[in-house]
Structure 1
Amino acid sequence: MNLDKQIQVLIDNAPQDGTTPQIVATIAPALKILAGQLRHAQYYIVQSLQGEWVLTTLSNRAFPDREKQVIYAFPSSQDALSGEFAAKNPQLMASAVPVVHILFQMLTLEPVESILFFEIPGNKSTGTEVLRSQVQYLIQGELQKLKSKSAGNINIPPDIA
């Protein structure tokens, strides 16, 4: 599914409250910029049978007390399920998720600092990191444009994603 179709699915599935679809359409350029920097239209996310995405805690080698929560996004289901945690746990599965939807979900994934997108099947040593703060910054820029156009007459729901 191309990026425009992925955006349209987000708009179509947004609450039809007269505001949220417009907001999703407004932030679409930011999502497309980020998604356009990645190689695949969809990635596989390891998740529980209940649909919860698996978080991984990484620590800094130079500063072991510094940790961050990340989600891995894989180019194939085989890559996703061949990882240590997935192979050892039959309660986990790999689900294909459109790249725009992954980026959109980052807005609500509070403990997650970034998503690591592995681009080459079979290669888990090199990936592209997309920081949650980067996604938020680009989206805030698009929302500021919307606020300027509407002169503050629009309420942006805090739980948009």
Structure 2
Amino acid sequence: MDLDQQIQLLIDSAPNDGRIPQAMQAIAPALKLVASQLEHPQYYVLQTLDEAWVLTTFSNPEQPQETKHILYAFPTLQDVTTQTSTLEDPEVMAIPVPVTHILFQMVAMDTVDSAIFFETPGNLTEGIQLRREDLQNLVQSYLEQGFPPPQSPPGNIPPNIA
């Protein structure tokens, strides 16, 4: 599935409340821009049976209260099995996820700090780290450009408007 098809699937599966599909169309170029800089149209992520993505938590030994939650995105299923023993857990499985869907979920998930996308099959020592905050800032800039604020109903006009 190419990036345009992935974006269209995101838009088509968004709740049709009038605003969400419009917002999806506004941020689609941002998702496509980032996805086009990655090498694969889909990556494998670890997921629990209740469909929660498995995150790896790192903490700073000098400041244990500071933790980072990382999502790993693998280029092949074989890379997942060689990298992690997590698949030995019967509650966890590796699933293929379109790259734009990973990016969209990153924007929505406040539990993830960044994702590491491994690009070269068999090489899990080098990856591209994408910070959630950077992705959110990019998406926000697209929202501001192409997504008008909601219209206020006529009865909600402030009395002191000049």
TM-score, shorter chain, exceeding 0.5: yes
Once the 2 structures are TM-superposed, how far is the Cα of residue 43 of structure 1 from its aligned partner?
0.1
Q: Give the Cα separation in 2 of the matches to 1:92 and 1:78.
A: 15
Count of matched residue positions in the alignment of Structure 1 and Structure 2 = 151
Q: 114, 130, 153: which one pairs with 2:150?
A: 153
- Say whether residues 1:141 and 2:138 are aligned partners: no
Q: Give the Cα separation in 1 of the matches to 2:55 and 2:36.
A: 24
Q: Using a 3 Å threshold, how does the CA distance of structure 1 residues 154 and 94 change in structure 2: closer, same or farther?
A: farther
Aligned-partner residue type, residue 93 of structure 1: M
The two structures have a TM-score, normalised by structure 1, of 0.86
Q: Give the Cα separation in 1 of the matches to 2:60 and 2:42.
A: 29
Equivalences for residues 83-122 of structure 1 within 5 A = 83-122=83-122
Q: Give the Cα separation in 1 of the matches to 2:89 and 2:82.
A: 11
Once the 2 structures are TM-superposed, how far is the Cα of residue 60 of structure 1 from its aligned partner?
5.0
Equivalences for residues 8-19 of structure 1 within 5 A = 8-19=8-19
In the other structure, the counterpart of 2:33 is 33
Cα shift readout 1:40-77 (whole Å, capped 9, x = no counterpart): 0000001112211101012458x563431000000011
**Off by >6 Å, runs of 4+ in structure 1:** none
Aligned-partner residue type, residue 21 of structure 1: P
Cα shift readout 1:126-152 (whole Å, capped 9, x = no counterpart): 0001110111001100111124xx3x3
Q: Using a 3 Å threshold, how does the CA distance of structure 1 residues 67 and 85 change in structure 2: closer, same or farther?
A: farther
The two structures have a TM-score, normalised by structure 2, of 0.85
Q: Using a 3 Å threshold, how does the CA distance of structure 1 residues 81 and 51 change in structure 2: closer, same or farther?
A: farther
Aligned-partner residue type, residue 12 of structure 1: D
- Say whether residues 1:51 and 2:51 are aligned partners: yes
Please provide the CA RMSD for this pair: 1.8
In the other structure, the counterpart of 1:131 is 131
In the other structure, the counterpart of 1:158 is none
State, as a whole percentage, how many aligned pairs show the same letter. Answer: 46
Give 5+ residue unaligned stretches, structure 1.
156-161
Q: Give the Cα separation in 2 of the matches to 1:64 and 1:81.
A: 32
Contact 2:87–2:94 at 8 Å: present in 1 too? Answer: no
Give 5+ residue unaligned stretches, structure 2.
153-162
Once the 2 structures are TM-superposed, how far is the Cα of residue 108 of structure 1 from its aligned partner?
2.0
Aligned residue for 1:50, secondary structure, equals: coil
